Amino acid sequence: MRDTSAIIAAARTVVVLTGAGISAESGVPTFRGPQGLWRKFRPEDLATPEAFERDPRLVWEWYNFRRQCIAECAPNAAHRALARFALARPHVRIITQNVDELHTDAARDAAGTRDAAPAMPLELHGSIFRDRCSMCAFQRENRAPVDTSSLASLPRCEECGALLRPDVVWFGERLVPGVLEEAFEWAGLADLCLVIGTSGVVEPAASIASTTRATGGAVIEINPEETPLTRVATVSIRGTAVGEVGRLLAS
């Protein structure tokens, strides 16, 4: 096994790819795994454009529930260590599949009065704390639950009157093109891709790590379990984000 601190010290450009696992120790349930949300709910009933077309109230009820759960969570030591790392080094990009804004909160906390931008994440799958129009480009921040008492009470677009929906990428939907291009550009430039708490089964996020590997960079994976990305990893650390990330970046 190659020495992880030597890999980190030698890397000029670092991409960090995070998934639901990094927020598990903040109390945000993951989708897969023993406590995973998908064990109790069927994603195809709740997180697809077809589901929203069929029953927008049900989908909004689900997002009200998730919004409320996530609003009670705070960044953990792994989010904080990554934010400090991104602020301390010149070429670090945090790319997340999470919609919980915990990297954003950690970036703002770590930056204090400094510019938080270098630690702000590229959100591949959007944010649960934004609504967007189902028809046009309108979007707005929204941390409050929406009124799901009837179809007529659901929030509507200020511009065109169509239904608003959560600004998250659902199953079967394309990612926002500019976001994806930026992610792959960083992945191709990176000397190191740190993969933390992602099951590696949701594309194209999984290909970000393989892109770094294919262009000669190293991949370090932190996950308590083996994943499809373990095969791509230069080093796999079997442990949790809170247990391993701070230690790894401080070494």
- DSSP for 198-240 reads --S-STTHHHHHHHHHHTT-EEEEE-SS--GGGGT-SEEE-S-
Residue 63 binds ligand NAD (CB under 6 A): no
The binder of 165, among ligand NAD, Zn ion, none, by C-beta within 5 to 8 A per type, is: none
The binder of 136, among ligand NAD, Zn ion, none, by C-beta within 5 to 8 A per type, is: Zn ion
Whether residue 79 lies in the annotated active site: no
Residue 43 binds ligand NAD (CB under 6 A): no
> Using CA atoms, how far apart are residues 30 and 138, in angstroms rounded to an integer?
29
> Using CA atoms, how far apart are residues 93 and 120, in angstroms rounded to an integer?
8
> Please, what is the minimum distance in Å from the beta carbon of residue 61 to Zn ion?
22
> Using CA atoms, how far apart are residues 208 and 191, in angstroms rounded to an integer?
13
Q: How many CB atoms lie within 10 A of CB 163?
A: 17
| CA end-to-end distance (rounded Å), the chain | 16
Sole binder of ligand NAD in the list 116, 175, 209, 241 (CB under 6 A): 241
The binder of 198, among Zn ion, ligand NAD, none, by C-beta within 5 to 8 A per type, is: ligand NAD
Return the ∠ at Cα 27 (arms to 237 and 210), rounded to 5°. Answer: 35
> Please, what is the minimum distance in Å from the beta carbon of residue 132 to ligand NAD?
15
Instruction: Yes or no: say if 144 and 165 are a contact pair by the CB < 8 Å rule.
Output: no
Residue 76 binds ligand NAD (CB under 6 A): no
Sole binder of ligand NAD in the list 11, 14, 15, 32 (CB under 6 A): 32
| Alpha-carbon distances of 67 from 71, 145, 200, 240, rounded to whole Å | 6, 7, 24, 24
Q: Which of 43-51, 121-129, 132-140, 171-179 is the region at the interface with Zn ion (rule: CB under 5 A)?
A: 132-140
| Alpha-carbon distances of 69 from 96, 101, 249, rounded to whole Å | 19, 13, 29
Site for ligand NAD in 107-126 (CB under 6 A): 125
The binder of 159, among Zn ion, ligand NAD, none, by C-beta within 5 to 8 A per type, is: Zn ion
- DSSP for 65-125 reads HHHHHHHT----HHHHHHHHHHHHSSSEEEEE---S-HHHHHHHHHHTTS--GGG--EETT
One character per residue 160-199, x = contact with ligand NAD (rule: CB under 6 A): -------------------------------------xxx
The binder of 100, among Zn ion, ligand NAD, none, by C-beta within 5 to 8 A per type, is: ligand NAD
Sole binder of Zn ion in the list 120, 133, 146, 222 (CB under 5 A): 133
Residues of this chain that interact with ligand NAD (CB under 6 A) are 19-25, 28, 30-33, 36, 97-100, 125, 197-199, 202, 222-225, 227, 240-241
Residues of this chain that interact with Zn ion (CB under 5 A) are 133, 135-136, 138, 157, 159-160, 162
